[in-house]
Amino acid sequence: MVEFTVLMQISFVVYATYIFSEVFILKLALTIVQLILSLALTAIVLLQQSRRTGLSGTISGAADTFLSKNKAASVDAKLAKLTAVIAAIFIVITLVLNLGFIA
């Protein structure tokens, strides 16, 4: 029983040392950033308009004016660019976390 208690104390010290190590804090910070990026990526994709109107747009005769088309295209273009940037950052962080770049 004494050996088990000593083993538990040693494992607690090792675990406490790991929790407060720089590697653990870095992994935790990257994981939190990854979570925030995934939520932002989901929201941005949901904010984008679809590329086609489909059958409903053809039947209803939804006509866009020239100015509204350009406004939607510019907002959509910015959202598409932001999606690509956030996705690239997300992929890099995922690779750093999972391929062992951080010991």
Residue 8 lies in a domain: yes
What is the pTM for the complete model shown?
0.65
> Domain range spanning residue 10?
2-45+65-98
Residue 74 lies in a domain: yes
Residue 56 lies in a domain: no
Residue range 22-75, pLDDT digits in tens: 888 899 999 999 999 999 999 999 998 877 655 555 565 555 555 556 665 688
Residue 50 lies in a domain: no
pLDDT value, residue 90? 97
Residue 57 lies in a domain: no
Tokens linked to 88: 């690239």
Tell me how far apart the alpha carbons of residues 35 and 43 are, in angstroms, rounded to a whole number.
13
Residue type for 8, please? M
Q: Helices (H) and strands (E) in the chain — how many of each? A: 4, 0
Residue 87 lies in a domain: yes
Residue range 75-86, pLDDT digits in tens: 888 999 999 999
Residue 85 lies in a domain: yes
State how many domains the chain has: 1
Tell me how far apart the alpha carbons of residues 78 and 85 are, in angstroms, rounded to a whole number.
11
pLDDT value, residue 42? 96
